[in-house]
Chain A
Amino acid sequence: MKEILALWMARNREYYRDKGSLFWSFVATPFIVIVLAIAFSSESQEVFRAGLLITSSSVQTSIFTEEPAIQLIEYTDAQEALRRVQFHQLDILIITDKSSRYWVNPESAKGRLLEKLLISDTSKHWQREEIKGQAIRYIDWVIPGILAMNMMFSGLWGIGYVIVRYRKNGVLKRLQATPLRAWQFLVSQAFSRLFIMLSVTILVFIVCDLFLDFMMVGSHLLLLLIAVIGNLAIISLSLLMAARTASEELANGLLNLISFPMLLLSELWFSLDDAPQWLQDFSLILPLTHLVKAARRVMLEGADFTEITPQLGVLALMTLLFITLAGIMFRWHND
């Protein structure tokens, strides 16, 4: 235990004495987050979004297919689709069976407009269902994504890149010459980075809340738990990347390879609702997707622990898998 604590302290010292890292984490990051959040918060959805709920008794439908200004999105998960209507992310939801039911949020102006258009088709006997809920601003929706993005970059580069540098300049070889075991080294590095990332994320959260007053309806403690497990998954992935890599150039390439799909497909900036199904399925193998999903459920919908258990479970499993593989593959040096 004293070995892990000593290395944890040493790594933390390295971090806070590196003025560049410190500036980037505690000054530049909140600044960038606020600028990005403000810039993207002005984005407005010009198109109408209508959901089509597909069930086992669905029939072929041509509702709104002639309207280019209406984006049609198919859903198979009724709860998920209804949640989107509730939070104004979907203007109307229509079931595609013979019942002719639809859901609309009475507080949504766009929803009411689409409803008028829908019921103008008098060939069907439409059944109206209401679902109420406060509109989620884009800034509320995007904040969990931006916080997660910051965690991802900090986690991937802050630990993987450092270990590769240690391997290249011989620090790992020097540690290998002591009775220290590989797992003790990996655990110390992981916990040091976790400590740093949580400190930075909490600070960024507080600063952004002060400036942007974003929506946070769930439990802060639950959000912290998501941050811990999500961070551990990202850190473990980074440790796996760094398990044998000896070149900083290769490490940089690998880190880009890992981070870019997450940046684009983990719904940090935009929803994948209208993306092809295979892309949505692919995004589920990315830890950041589950982290962001769980964080949004807690922050925007006030989800409790049981509601985010699937995401936490996946993140915990990913952590276990990545850290185990990293432990097996780890080499002190690559001679």
Chain B
Amino acid sequence: MTTILEVRNLIKSFRSLKAVDDVSFSIPQGACFGLLGPNGAGKTTTIEIIEGIKKPSSGEILYKGKPRDRKFSEQTGIQFQSTALMDYLKTHEVLTLFAKLYPRSQPIDRLIELCQLEEFLDTYATRLSGGQRQRLLLAVALINDPEILFLDEPTTGLDPQSRRNFWSLIKDIKSQGKTVLLTTHYMEEAELLCDQLVIMDKGKIIVDGSPEVLLQQYFDHSYVCIDQRDFHGDISALTSPTEKREDYIAIETNTVEKTLAELVSLNINLRSLRVKNPSLDDLFLKLTGHRLRE
């Protein structure tokens, strides 16, 4: 598959702090590529350097095999983590304005349909709900029919329903063959949308690959989970490794049946029992010792 974007040895320092520390990766054309990591991992700095918003301390970024030029800003779409739009402009006026800032743009009607903006076309952009606003910002990012789309934490702050709707939109965009670079700290989002990803922590890439391959590579077990309020027995009596997480206990197991038998023998209430496969969050915990959202 052709590489559309290549990042080589990217470094960004703020005085003594290295926010991005020798980061390299390449993104195949048409892929949804994820930058996953906790807050402060360096995801936003990395993506903003790639977008051309920030300057790197050192490193190289190649778009279609060449250093970025004016074509890059004409062929890319960007949705920032936080951005405001002009006061007193209505949704359709925002779209018209941004369409005129590019040499070529796609029909606004198509974007309105794709991003489901019909209901609030005549509403001031500053009065939109969080989900509506993100859909409008996505439409703005798509206005020039970009070859590569940058989405920086696009669902942060959205309610679960809006988040799911947004994922569905991104899947539609992916199906059009567009390349997407997505930063997120939601493992579920990354697992659902990303074909390939890198996990970052403290400015460095700690692992990269496709979500499925990474999980297969690092885990050969599942988790049996039980709410803490139902677990009155002696946790050390279990033969498998256990871990207290938020309000439940996760028991690492290769054979679910054997663990269930142990729990029954300890007279544990099984009403909250569920079996969970390892996630990217578990992978991050395994690699760094702390959780993604800590």
Chain A residues near B (Cβ < 8 Å): 2-3, 5-7, 9-11, 13-14, 17-18, 166, 169-171, 173-180, 332-333, 335
Q: List 10 A-B contacts (CB under 8 A).
A: A6-B96, A14-B88, A170-B82, A173-B83, A174-B80, A175-B101, A178-B98, A178-B101, A179-B74, A179-B101
Q: How far is the CB of B5 from chain A (nearest CB, A)?
A: 16
Q: Which residue of A lies closest to B96 (CB)?
A: A6
B160 at the interface (CB under 8 A from A): no
B102 at the interface (CB under 8 A from A): yes
Residues of B within 8 A of A333 (CB): 53
The interface residues of chain A, by DSSP majority, are classed as helix
Q: Which residue of A lies closest to B45 (CB)?
A: A335
B100 at the interface (CB under 8 A from A): yes
A17 to B124, CA, bound (A): 11
A208 to B54, CA, bound (A): 51
Q: Which residue of B lies closest to A21 (CB)?
A: B88
Q: How far is the CB of B239 from chain A (nearest CB, A)?
A: 53
Chain B residues near A (Cβ < 8 Å): 51-54, 70, 73-74, 76, 78, 80, 82-89, 93, 96-98, 100-103, 140, 144
A11 to B86, CA, bound (A): 8
Residues of B within 8 A of A170 (CB): 80, 82-84
Residues of B within 8 A of A176 (CB): 53
Across the interface, do B101 and A171 meet the contact criterion of CB distance under 8 Å?
no
Q: How far is the CB of A169 from chain B (nearest CB, A)?
A: 4
Across the interface, do B73 and A178 meet the contact criterion of CB distance under 8 Å?
yes
A176 to B83, CA, bound (A): 12
Q: Which of A7, A166, A169, A177 has the most CB of B within 10 A?
A: A177
Please tell me which one of the listed residues B70, B83, B144 contacts residue A171 in the complex, with CB atoms under 8 A apart: B83
Nearest 6 Cβ contacts at the A-B interface: A6-B100, A169-B84, A17-B88, A170-B83, A178-B101, A177-B78
Across the interface, do A13 and B83 meet the contact criterion of CB distance under 8 Å?
no
Q: How far is the CB of A244 from chain B (nearest CB, A)?
A: 16
Please tell me which one of the listed residues A5, A14, A166, A335 contacts residue B89 in the complex, with CB atoms under 8 A apart: A14
Across the interface, do A18 and B88 meet the contact criterion of CB distance under 8 Å?
yes
Please tell me which one of the listed residues A174, A178, A180 contacts residue B85 in the complex, with CB atoms under 8 A apart: A174
Q: Which residue of A lies closest to B141 (CB)?
A: A177
Q: How far is the CB of A25 from chain B (nearest CB, A)?
A: 15
A3 to B85, CA, bound (A): 16
Known: A13-B93, A179-B74. A174 touches B83 (CB 8 A): yes
A7 to B80, CA, bound (A): 20
